[in-house]
């Protein structure tokens, strides 16, 4: 089956064919690094990881680029409100200057990379700080200026959307609709409500340019870096659904008007949100769930990955702790069943592989791929060694870390019943009741576990 993706640009599922046969170039909108990533952000990157891994599984060479937004992103995506990085500096009591801004960015970028690794997300081939490519932004804005797409107001250089007949193609092409008009904060100097800033003036802090000191707009950063690293036209662009109306619409406008080439990107793919208490999890909320909250509750981050794969990336998902714990229990069960398959790795079952490929190629249908994994594990007609090989093959895409995690589980997950007996034995030893202690040791061993005493307690292992 050919790969099919839902393309926001055409609003339908389409067969995927890259510009260069056998190679895929994709750009993923990265985080704004003024705070830790939250678990909603991490959905965006589990999605791109599955996308990238499934393309590789289908034999493509993939180049994935991600921006790290460390300048220019205002609290409203539509050029109003405070600068998010400045807010971060103020929150941390740091002086406002570019050096501190960069340090803040580097700190949260490292934390972000740790989060990605903990979820078994492969790092993109290139992750670039927007502040290192301001000249590229300026060059792109100059191109737009030369072609008469820009105008100046008291606070910046703006893109004149009326000059682009098909502006807004990503959200249906209807120009200036009422809902948008009321949502976008009024800026009376703008010629059209959708016009957006390419460069924002700032006398106190910023980068020099022929228009005056300031910052590039957030949208131009992604256009400039996309073009620099992937070319004037490339295959896939990803991001959360809230980017459709403004950020990605404006990326298309700037890029296509500057280069004269259409389409800037062939397939636009968007992940839906993670909700908590029916509300989008957002950094701006201040209190939000991060991967460290999972660790605090002793939940394996891979269980969160597994939880995400239970829904399609394009569906909304409600997060709650019970559901996550349920996912962790199911995942541990899978690990145990995998462990019970023995040590020999046989050959991949071709029939299961074909079915898996079909599901994953059908707009990344991970729920069906997981259901197939359960079917496989229960299928008595597939020899154990071949099952093991097939699970490892599926895991190239699912990234549930069967090879390593199941080893950890083998050593760490001790049934509650055994833990209870071990605690009773500890109590008996404390009371110097060695007869009872030995009886309990025997009972534990009959159930398949051995207990070893140490200076700071005991350790239980599966025999
Ligand atoms: P940010 O760091 O806020 O610029 O966001 C980074 C990525 O996370 C973007 O692609 C967002 O669309 C995505 N994102 C933000 N909040 C959520 C959420 N609650 N659920 C899913 N994705 C989100
Ligand atoms: Zn972007």
pLDDT in tens, 88-117: 988 999 988 999 999 999 999 999 999 999
Among 25-29, 172-176, 195-199, which is the least confidently predicted range?
A: 172-176
Average of pLDDT values for 433-442? 93
* 210 falls within a domain: yes
Show which of 276, 306, 327 is a domain's final residue: 276
Q: Tell me, yes or no, whether 42 lies in a domain.
A: yes
**Burial call 319-328: b when 16+ CB within 10 Å, e when fewer:** beeeebeebb
Residue matched to tokens 């079952």: 349
Residues 421 and 402 in one domain: no
Report pLDDT digits (tens) over 303-320.
999 999 999 999 999 999
List pLDDT tens digits, range 377-410. 999 999 999 999 999 999 999 999 998 876 666 5
Instruction: Give me ligand 2 centre to Cα 150, in Å.
Output: 21
Per-residue tokens: 88: 């971060």
DSSP 71: S
Residues 341 and 447 in one domain: no
Residues 369 and 444 both lie in one domain: no
* Structure tokens that stand for 28 in this block: 């993923």
The encoded tokens of residue 413 equal 């997950």
Q: Is the dihedral of CA 44, 49, 52, 58 positive or negative?
A: negative
* pLDDT, position 406: 65
- Among the bound ligands, name the one nearest to the CA of residue 244: 1
The verdict on 49 and 175 lying in the same domain is yes
Place of tokens 């003036």: 201
- Residue 182 pLDDT > 50: no
Per-residue pLDDT at 460: 75
Q: Looking at the structure, tell me whether residues 321 and 363 fall in a common domain.
A: yes
Read off the pLDDT of residues 293-302 as tens digits, 9 standing for 90 and up. 888 887 889 9
The residue nearest atom 7 of ligand 1, judged by CA position, is 41
Which structure tokens are listed for 338?
A: 């995998």
Residue 287 sits at the vertex; the CA angle it makes with 282 and 288, to the nearest 5 degrees, is 50
pLDDT of residue 178: 43
Distance 351 CA to ligand 2 centre (A): 40
Residues 177 and 30 placed together within one structural domain of the fold: yes
Of 64-68, 244-248, 372-376, 453-457, the least confident: 453-457
Q: How many residues does the chain have?
A: 463
Residue 33 CA, closest ligand 1 atom number: 2
Q: Determine, yes or no, domain membership for 380.
A: yes
Q: What residues have a C-beta under 5 A from ligand 2, the ion?
A: 29, 222
Q: Indicate if the pLDDT at residue 201 is higher than 70.
A: yes
Q: Which residues have CB under 6 Å of ligand 1?
A: 29, 31-32, 40-41, 43-44, 239-240, 242-243, 271, 273-274, 280-283
Same domain, 262 and 309: no
* 177 pLDDT more than 50: no
pLDDT band at 447 (very low <50, low <70, confident <90, very high): confident
Average pLDDT over residues 75-82: 71
CA-to-CA distance for 71 and 134, rounded, in angstroms? Answer: 10
Average pLDDT for residues 124-149, to the nearest whole number? 98
Q: Residues 205, 100: contact at Cβ < 8 Å?
A: no
Instruction: Identify the residue with better confidence: 252 or 78.
Output: 252
pLDDT of residue 354 exceeding 90, the answer is yes
Based on the structure, what is the number of domains in the chain? Answer: 3
Share of residues in the chain with pLDDT > 90 (%): 72
Nearest to 189 by CA among 162, 223, 154, 238: 154
Atom of ligand 1 nearest to the CA of 41: 8
**Are residues 64 and 160 part of one domain?**
yes
Last residue of a domain, one of 245, 276, 307: 276
> If residue 447 lies in a helix (H) or strand (E), which one and from where to where?
none
- In the predicted model, is pLDDT for residue 74 greater than 60? yes
- Mean pLDDT along residues 26-36: 95
**Is 420 inside a domain boundary?**
yes
Task: State pLDDT tens for residues 355-368.
Answer: 999 999 999 999 99
Distance from chain centroid for Cα 340: 32
Please state the pTM of the whole predicted model: 0.87
Asked if residue 251 and residue 120 are part of one domain, the reply reads yes
Evaluate if residue 118 carries a pLDDT over 90. yes
Q: Indicate whether 131 pLDDT > 50.
A: yes
pLDDT the model gives residue 299: 87
Q: Does 350 share its domain with 436? A: no
What is the residue with the minimal CA distance to atom 8 of ligand 1? 41
**Percent of the chain at pLDDT exceeding 70:** 92
Residue 285 in domain: no
Whether residue 420 sits in one domain with residue 306? no
CATH number reported for the structural domain that contains residue 59 in this entry = 3.40.50.620
Dist CA 82 CA 369 (whole Å): 43
The pair of structure tokens assigned to 331 is: 């995942």
* Whether residue 430 has pLDDT greater than 90: no
Cα–Cα distances (Å) from 283 to 47, 75, 313, in that order, read 19, 10, 20
Give phi and psi for 260, each to the nearest 5. Answer: 75, 10
Domain hosting residue 421, numbered range: 416-462
Candidate from 127, 240, 283 with most ligand 1 atoms within 8 A of CB, to mutate: 240
Q: Assign residue 391 the CATH number of its domain.
A: 1.10.730.10
Encode 43-63: b = buried (16+ Cβ within 10 Å), e = exposed: bbbbbbbbbbbbbebbebebb
> What was the pLDDT predicted at 179?
44
Radius of gyration of the chain (CA): 26
Query: Is 223 a member of any domain?
Result: yes
Q: Is the peptide bond before 263 cis (omega within 30 degrees of 0)?
A: yes
The span from the CA of 129 to the CA of 80, in Å, is: 22
Q: What is the mean pLDDT of the chain?
A: 91
Rounded to 5 degrees, what angle do the CA atoms 402, 405, 408 make? 140
353 C-alpha vs ligand 1 centroid, how far in Å?
32
Tens digit of each residue's pLDDT (9 = 90 or more) over 235-271: 999 999 999 999 999 999 999 999 999 999 999 999 9
**CA–CA dist 156, 197 (Å, integer):** 6
Residues 374, 421 share a domain: no
CA angle (449, 455, 458) in 5-degree steps? 20
Per-residue model confidence (pLDDT) at position 82: 78
**What is the pLDDT, as a whole number, of residue 181?**
46
Does residue 424 register a pLDDT over 60? yes
* pLDDT value of position 409: 63
């Amino acid at each position: 089956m050919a790969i099919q993706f839902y393309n926001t640009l055409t609003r339908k599922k389409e067969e995927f064919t890259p510009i260069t046969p056998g190679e895929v170039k994709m750009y993923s909108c990265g985080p704004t690094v003024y705070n830790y990533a939250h678990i909603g952000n991490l959905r965006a990157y589990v999605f791109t990881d599955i996308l990238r891994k499934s393309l590789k599984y289908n034999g493509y060479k993939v180049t994935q680029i991600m921006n790290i937004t460390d300048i220019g992103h205002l609290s409203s995506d539509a050029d109003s409100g405070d600068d998010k990085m400045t807010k971060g500096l103020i929150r941390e009591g740091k002086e406002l200057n570019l050096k501190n801004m960069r340090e803040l960015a580097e700190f949260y970028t490292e934390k972000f990379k740790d989060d990605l690794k903990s979820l078994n997300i492969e790092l993109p081939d290139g992750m670039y700080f927007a502040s290192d490519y301001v000249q590229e932004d300026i060059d792109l804005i100059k191109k737009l200026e030369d072609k008469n797409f820009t105008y100046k107001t008291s606070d910046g250089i703006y893109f004149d959307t009326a000059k682009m007949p098909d502006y807004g193609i990503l959200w249906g092409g209807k120009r200036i609709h009422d809902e948008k008009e009321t949502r976008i904060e009024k800026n009376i100097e703008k010629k059209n409500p959708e016009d957006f800033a390419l460069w924002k003036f700032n006398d106190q802090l910023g980068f020099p340019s022929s228009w005056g000191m300031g910052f590039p707009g957030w949208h131009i950063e992604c256009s400039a870096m996309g073009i620099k690293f992937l070319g004037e036209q490339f295959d896939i662009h990803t991001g959360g659904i809230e980017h459709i109306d403004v950020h990605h619409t404006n990326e298309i406008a700037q890029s296509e008007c500057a280069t004269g080439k259409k389409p800037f990107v062939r397939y636009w793919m968007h992940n839906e949100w993670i909700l908590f208490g029916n509300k989008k999890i957002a950094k701006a909320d201040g209190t939000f769930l991060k991967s460290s909250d999972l660790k605090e509750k002793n939940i394996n981050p891979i269980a969160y990955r597994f939880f995400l794969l239970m829904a399609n990336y394009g569906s909304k998902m409600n997060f709650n702790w019970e559901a996550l714990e349920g996912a962790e229990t199911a995942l541990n069960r899978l690990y145990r069943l995998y462990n019970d398959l023995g040590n020999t790795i046989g050959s991949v079952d071709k029939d299961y592989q074909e079915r898996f490929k079909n599901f994953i190629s059908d707009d990344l249908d991970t729920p069906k791929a997981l259901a197939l994994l359960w079917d496989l594990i229960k299928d008595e007609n597939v020899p154990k060694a071949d099952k093991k090989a097939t699970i490892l093959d599926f895991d190239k895409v699912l990234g549930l870390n069967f090879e390593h995690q199941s080893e950890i589980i083998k050593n760490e997950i001790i049934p509650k019943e055994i833990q209870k007996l071990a605690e009773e034995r500890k109590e008996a030893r404390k009371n110097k009741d060695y007869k009872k202690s030995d009886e309990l040791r025997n009972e534990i061993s009959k159930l398949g576990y051995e207990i070893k005493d140490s200076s700071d307690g005991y350790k239980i292992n599966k025999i």
